[in-house]
Amino acid sequence: MGAEPRPSDAFVLSFLADDPPTDLAFDEFLAPAHRDRSELFWTPVAVAHRAAHWLAEAGAREVVDVGSGAGKFCVVAALSSPNLRLVGIEHRASLVWAARVLAARFGLGRRASFVHTTIEHPRLAMFDAVYLFNPFGENLHAVEGRLDESVELTPERMRRDVRLVEHVFEKLLIGSRVVTYFGFGGRVPDSFVVEREELAGSDVLRMWIKRRHASRGRVWRETDGGVELCDARLGEGGT
């Protein structure tokens, strides 16, 4: 890490001054291999900045980023909203390491930490907010559209992981927030309502809040035009 660039105070403060840097400027702090993947795989700075503000305004404190990649979302969110603590879970060890290096470069300490694990981790429902940027879409990509071949990637794994996320949603406490960007491939139970949504980056950023313990048998499906409620027993899949 010694010869790697360190952010200037002005750069760090720009997040708090609501004038965050461009993706090009931020990505300079990523390793070159991860910089090249940024446009497709990591949340744009402006989107992460916006999501962090929504989450902080909604009272979130501990946010888990499901599939945290090179740490871009967690680091930008932590820099943008000082009251948030970000925890990234990621199944690729090399990305967990890269994310820790990135967070250390910005001196974030415990405000942004990264765990090498999968969505099966039992503590996920204990966070008060969950962020999802299409973490499982890669399961459907052809080999050349994948980050690498170091983990299992199959449509069956995607179905399994989507089901696990839906299960986490059922266990989250009332008041929990879920933010999606490019969805997650599944459905959100009707115990949640859409609290905020707007066009951001190249898709829609949406924040859901859990309002009731149990679902009434319906689910929100993300469509190209927005969201719609449908019977939970109707076919699987969503975005």
Ligand X SMILES: C[S@@+](CC[C@H](N)C(=O)[O-])C[C@H]1O[C@@H](n2cnc3c(N)ncnc32)[C@H](O)[C@@H]1O
If one asks whether residue 183 binds ligand X (CB under 6 A), the answer comes out as no
Both tokens assigned to 211: 């309002």
Interface with ligand X: number of residues (CB under 6 A): 22
Helices 72-80, 93-105: axis angle to 10 degrees equals 30
Compute the distance between CA of residue 230 and CA of residue 226 in angstroms, rounded to an integer.
13
Taking CB under 6 A as the rule, does residue 77 contact ligand X?
Answer: no
Task: Give the three-class secondary structure for 18.
Answer: coil
Residue 69, interface with ligand X (CB under 6 A)?
yes
CB of residue 27 to ligand X, shortest distance in Å: 11
Mark the segment that binds ligand X (CB under 6 A) among 66-74, 77-85, 208-216, 230-238. Answer: 66-74
Q: Retrieve residue 217's tokens.
A: 């048998």
Out of 134, 159, 218, 230, the residue judged to bind ligand X by CB under 6 A: 134
Q: By rule CB under 6 A, what string of x and - marks binding of each residue 151-170 to ligand X?
A: ----------x---------
CA atoms within 13 A on the CB side of 73: 33
Cα separation, 210 vs 188, in Å, equals: 10
Nearer to ligand X, 11 or 136 (CB): 136
- Scanning 25-33, 41-49, 183-191, 228-236 for contacts with ligand X by CB under 6 A, the matching segment is 41-49
Residue nearest to ligand X (CB): 67
Structural Rg of the chain based on CA atoms: 17
* Residue 180 neighbours by CB under 8 Å, 6+ apart: 131, 132, 133, 205, 206, 208, 222
CB under 6 A: which stretch of 2-10, 22-30, 61-69, 169-177 binds ligand X? 61-69
For the CB of residue 116, give the shortest distance to ligand X in the complex, in Å. Answer: 9
Q: Which is nearer to ligand X, 65 or 128 (CB)?
A: 65
Secondary structure (3-state) at 216: coil
Q: At 117, is the secondary structure helix, strand, or coil?
A: coil
Task: Select 146 or 196, whichever has its Cβ closest to ligand X.
Answer: 146
